[in-house]
Structure 1
Amino acid sequence: MNRRMVMSLLLVAALVMTTVLAGCGNKDSDKVKVRIGEVTRSLFYAPQYVAIEKGYFEEEGLDVELTTTPGGDKTMTALLSNAIDVALVGSETSIYVYQQGTDDPIINFAQLTQTDGTFLVAREAVETFDWNALKGSVFLGQRKGGMPQMAGEFALKKLGIDPQADLELIQNVDFANIPAAFASGTGDYVQLFEPTASIFEKEGKGHVVASFGAESGHLPYTVFMAKQSYINKNEKTVQAFTNAIHKAQLWVESNTAEAITDVVLPYFENVDRDILISSIDRYQKQGSFSVDPVIDEAEWNNLIDVITSAGELEKRTEHSELVNTTFAEKSIEAVK
């Protein structure tokens, strides 16, 4: 083989390689980027992490970027300022924005969790817990107007306990500092999410004695939402997003806590695997993970009752005003 032929073959090979690489680049660029802001990093959101790790978003042609935006106020600010495209946060935040007046409302389009995600943690373990034991105690609660606190108060009222009169209620501790405050001796009881509750049990700092999720009923506790203007301009993207979430929901529903833990482990590298399994098992047993993305009217009405009971609702906001179930319903038909 002469030198000219060798050079020709090398040139052809280079051109082929360039074409292949260009094709790969085009394939990646074809994916639509969606920026998600999650209100906190929590095992409560396991199906979202499953959707990412199992490649369901990629299958739907999406390239998602996940950012943790601690707190409902920060998450909603990020959404309103277009720093993110989709927010994963409590539906109450969309209602608060709507009540303030807006020509571009925040629309709830896919539900991820359907119960409160907090557990009642006591300093001492008890075999049989009686909610009346809370009366006269010091209770380290959550932020006023936030979903954990409102759902917790709603559950207590159903159980015949007046949170304002029967408890010494502490609500001046920032969300991120609540576990540390309890660990340092503040309060007799505290309301905690997983995996913090299980970590406290393992370390002997507290004991889970009851579930607020089991008492407050089904409601759109954590939901994917976006501006109406974004949805109007990106209907195919929102549908693809919802399809990916529903794929993850079906996978989570049909798998064990151990299997789910192995998928979401990269998001909780500093937490022991047995703690993650225990936490996910608790959420599965009380049915916290939504089995489909539909935000139905009964759940929405329960949410309105919770917010009204907390005195945070200026006027009733109907399901039809801030919920779009079209994408969720189509995902059920598309994903089997």
Structure 2
Amino acid sequence: MKSARSFMAVVCTILMVLILGACSNSSSNEKTSIKLAEVTRSIFYAPLYVALENGYFEEEGLEVDLTTTWGGDKTMTSLVSDSSDIALVGSETSIYVHSQGANDPVINFAQLTQKDGTFLVSKKAHDNFSWNDLKESNFLGQRKGGMPQMVGEYVLKQNGIDPHQDLNLSQNIDFGNIPSAFQTGDYEYVQLFEPTASKFEKQGVGHVLASFGEASGKVPYTVFMAKQSFLEDNSETAEKFTRAIYKAQQWVESHKGKEVAEIIQPYFEDIELDIIDESVERYKNSEAYALDPVLDEEEWNNLKDIMDEAGELPEDVKHETLVNTEIAENIINE
């Protein structure tokens, strides 16, 4: 009888250990869900897709639900209405929201791209291109008030060209229709993102002449941002998210374009692998991808100068008002 009681005691002990172990494993396997809104689907955002495909978010215990919201206004609406937790969009949008008197400001906390991602494309080849070649040409620009157009105008002015006086400038074409409008219209030059620029070169439709990103310098072109309340209430989650992005940034920097292309191809199934490869290499060569998530004050001030030059800066917002560098700095210093 005594041995039976001893046996039952051992069995109960084993069962308790198994139950506690199962509970512990269940708890450790629980993931924090993040609703992430990206402003568009772009090879320009390659490190984000690398973070997803290489499992860096999963390693941090995060489950990221990615939605493409197609436009800065829609992306910010998603964020401020709590339809998303984090948004990937241009930093200028946080300034626009702040100028409207937001009680819960949108804070930039992790930078993804550090330069403009557009390229100057011409219908004709140029052996010795000069920015002066653009004068009096038919130029198809980007949407007024958006970062591509503001950077484009900034670069032109830096090279002695007044875009509204020296060019026949068109800004009335929707973003999605710009490539086809350039192909079919009488435009001589256009400002394009990848992979369209590389596609046009391959098809003989256009020739890439210059990078607006290289010409303009570093700006917080695309940044992960969240409402201040979210960052305060979910500081650990924000750190985990930023850590995953930093891992991806380092991976992209240390791997060739083709390797990056192979990882992110599921996000661009209608684009040939060699075009993705060429696009990634072009962005790497122009240093468009940020090497770490820190958005420094110099970049922020450069952004404001570009907006001010374009007449689109609603107010002078200080770096510390809308930028949190502490999260990113802690991650890279680990």
Corresponding residue number in structure 2 for 1:71: 71
Note the alpha carbon deviations across 1:271-309, whole angstroms, 9 max, x for none. 111111111111111111101000000000000000000
Q: Aligned equivalents of 1:48 and 1:305: distance in 2?
A: 28
Corresponding residue number in structure 2 for 1:15: none
Corresponding residue number in structure 2 for 1:164: 164
Corresponding residue number in structure 2 for 1:236: 236
Corresponding residue number in structure 1 for 2:105: 105
Conserved? CA contact 1:140–1:186, under 8 Å: no
Which structure 1 residue ranges, 4+ long, deviate > 4 Å from structure 2? 18-28
Question: How far did residue 24 of structure 1 move?
Answer: 7.5
One-letter amino acid of the structure 2 residue matched with residue 222 of structure 1: T
Q: Aligned equivalents of 2:115 and 2:71: distance in 1?
A: 18
Question: How far did residue 27 of structure 1 move?
Answer: 5.2
Partner of 2:265: helix, strand, or coil? helix
Corresponding residue number in structure 1 for 2:50: 50
Which stretch of structure 1 is more off in the superposition, 175-184 or 148-157? 175-184
Q: Aligned equivalents of 1:25 and 1:139: distance in 2?
A: 59
Question: How far did residue 262 of structure 1 move?
Answer: 0.9
**Normalising by the residue count of structure 2, what TM-score does the alignment of the two structures yield?**
0.92
Question: How far did residue 53 of structure 1 move?
Answer: 0.5
One-letter amino acid of the structure 2 residue matched with residue 317 of structure 1: V
**1:128-207 aligned within 5 A:** 128-207=128-207
One-letter amino acid of the structure 2 residue matched with residue 63 of structure 1: E
Question: How far did residue 192 of structure 1 move?
Answer: 0.5
Corresponding residue number in structure 1 for 2:249: 249
Corresponding residue number in structure 2 for 1:258: 258
Corresponding residue number in structure 1 for 2:118: 118
Distance 1:254 1:311, change over 3 A: same
Q: Aligned equivalents of 1:24 and 1:202: distance in 2?
A: 52
Q: Aligned equivalents of 1:183 and 1:27: distance in 2?
A: 54
**1:264-303 aligned within 5 A:** 264-303=264-303
Partner of 1:274: helix, strand, or coil? helix
Note the alpha carbon deviations across 1:14-53, whole angstroms, 9 max, x for none. xxxx99999886555x110111111111111000000000
Partner of 1:157: helix, strand, or coil? helix
Structure 2, unmatched stretches of 5+, are 1-18
One-letter amino acid of the structure 1 residue matched with residue 289 of structure 2: F
Distance 1:153 1:20, change over 3 A: same
Conserved? CA contact 2:139–2:168, under 8 Å: yes
Conserved? CA contact 1:143–1:172, under 8 Å: yes
Question: How far did residue 127 of structure 1 move?
Answer: 1.8
**1:215-226 aligned within 5 A:** 215-226=215-226
Corresponding residue number in structure 2 for 1:312: 312
Q: Aligned equivalents of 2:278 and 2:300: distance in 1?
A: 29
Partner of 2:33: helix, strand, or coil? strand
Q: Aligned equivalents of 2:20 and 2:180: distance in 1?
A: 56
Conserved? CA contact 1:114–1:221, under 8 Å: yes
Matched, 1:85 2:123: no
Partner of 1:215: helix, strand, or coil? helix
Conserved? CA contact 2:110–2:293, under 8 Å: yes
Distance 1:21 1:266, change over 3 A: farther
Q: Aligned equivalents of 1:186 and 1:57: distance in 2?
A: 46
Conserved? CA contact 2:108–2:224, under 8 Å: yes
Distance 1:168 1:23, change over 3 A: same
Alignment identity in percent? 58
Partner of 1:77: helix, strand, or coil? helix
Note the alpha carbon deviations across 1:55-95, whole angstroms, 9 max, x for none. 00001110001111111111111111111111101000000
Partner of 1:191: helix, strand, or coil? strand
Question: How far did residue 205 of structure 1 move?
Answer: 1.6
Structure 1, unmatched stretches of 5+, are 1-17
Question: How far did residue 314 of structure 1 move?
Answer: 2.4
Question: How far did residue 186 of structure 1 move?
Answer: 4.5
Partner of 1:142: helix, strand, or coil? coil
Distance 1:186 1:318, change over 3 A: farther
Partner of 1:98: helix, strand, or coil? helix
Partner of 2:333: helix, strand, or coil? helix
Partner of 1:88: helix, strand, or coil? strand
Note the alpha carbon deviations across 1:161-193, whole angstroms, 9 max, x for none. 101111111111111111111122252111110
Corresponding residue number in structure 1 for 2:36: 36
**1:316-327 aligned within 5 A:** 316-327=316-327
Corresponding residue number in structure 1 for 2:332: 332
Conserved? CA contact 2:96–2:314, under 8 Å: no
Aligned length: 317
Conserved? CA contact 2:119–2:191, under 8 Å: yes
**Normalising by the residue count of structure 1, what TM-score does the alignment of the two structures yield?**
0.91
**Root-mean-square deviation (Å):** 1.8
Conserved? CA contact 2:155–2:215, under 8 Å: yes
